[in-house]
Amino acid sequence: MPLISDAIRVLSTADPRAKAARAREMTSAWRDTQLVGKSPTTLPDQPARPAKPELVSPMDVPRRRLGSSQGRGALLHAVAHIELNAIDLAADMIARFTLHPALRESDRKRFAADWTSVCDDEARHFLMLADRLEALGLSYGDYPAHNGLWEAAHSTRDNFPARVAIAPLVLEARGLDVTPNMINRLNGAGDHKSAQMLQVIYDEEIGHVATGARWFKYLAAQQADSAESYFHELVRTHFKGQIKSPFNEKARTLAGLARTYYEPLSVN
Ligand SMILES: [Fe+2]
Ligand SMILES: [Fe+2]
C-alpha cells in the first residue's frame, strides 16, 4: 500500500501491539517503494485505541512512587502510553501533511523518510516498554492514562506549522527535560533494566526533536517573521498547557532548539 494508506491503517488499528507492528511495516514498505499515494479524503479524528487503559483527567492519573515495583510499573506504563500516542502522532503527521502544499514536491520524500523513521522508533519504544511491563507481571492497559497528548495534537489538525511547533517541539522536547530524572530514579531504585530502556528512548528522542526543529525552520522560512517569533505566536495560540522550566538545555540545543525558542514562553 502507498504510504498515506499505511499511515491511516496505523491510526485505525486499536490493538496496541498490532498498531506498533503496522507502524514498523509502514516504514519498511516506504523504504522499499517510496510510494506516497493520494491525499486522504478523511482522517480519523481520534486514533483507534484499545478499551483499556481507561482515559481520565491528568489529575486522576496515579502518582508514581518508585520505591515499590507497583510505582515503577505505573511509571513505565505512563511512558508506554506516551509512546503509543507518539506512534499515532507520527502516523497522523504523515497522513495529514506529506502532501501539504507548504512542502515543495522535491522535499516530500525527505519529509516522509523523516517521519516514518520517527514512527518506527516510537513503535520500537512502545514494544520495548510493553515487554518490560509484562516481565514485571503487568500489561499496557492496567493503569488509567490521560489523553492530553492527542488533544494537543487534535487542536492543530488544520495547521501544519502549529502541529510541528507543538508535537515535537513542545511535547517531545518536554520529554527530554523530564527523562534524565526518571532514569536516575529508576537506577536509584535498582531497576537498571528499565533505566537502560529509558536511556535508549531518550537518545532517540533527541533525534525526534531535531527532526521537528528542521521541519519547523523549513516552514518558518516561508513566513515574514523570524522562526522564533513565529514559534512563539503558534504556541501561544494553539497550546493550552504551560511551558515549564527547568529545561534540558543541553539536549534541546543538541536537537537544534535554541533557548530563544522556548525561554520566552516559560511560565516560571
Ligand atoms: Fe518515543
Ligand atoms: Fe518521539
Note the pLDDT tens digit of each residue in 107-161.
999 999 999 999 999 999 999 999 999 999 999 999 999 888 888 889 999 999 9
Q: What percent of the chain has pLDDT over 90?
A: 85
Mutual angle of helices 16-33 and 69-97, in 10-degree steps = 40
Q: What is the mean pLDDT of residues 78-96?
A: 97
Domain residue extents for the chain: 3-34+59-265
What's the gap in Å between 122 CA and the centre of ligand 1?
A: 4
- Which residue, among 68, 74, 70, 69, has the nearest Cα to 53 in the 3D structure? 74
What's the gap in Å between 91 CA and the centre of ligand 2?
A: 12
What's the gap in Å between 81 CA and the centre of ligand 2?
A: 12
What's the gap in Å between 42 CA and the centre of ligand 2?
A: 25
Q: What is the mean pLDDT of residues 168-190?
A: 96
Q: What is the pLDDT of residue 69?
A: 77
- The grid coordinates listed for 76 are 513505565
Name the pTM for this structure.
Answer: 0.96
Q: What is the pLDDT of residue 64?
A: 66
Task: Flag whether pLDDT at 200 surpasses 90.
Answer: yes
Give per-residue pLDDT as tens, 132-146.
999 999 999 999 998
CA distance 67 to 191: 10
* pLDDT classification of 40: cutoffs 50, 70, 90: confident
Q: How many Cβ atoms are within 10 Å of 228's Cβ, its own excluded?
A: 16
What's the gap in Å between 89 CA and the centre of ligand 2?
A: 9
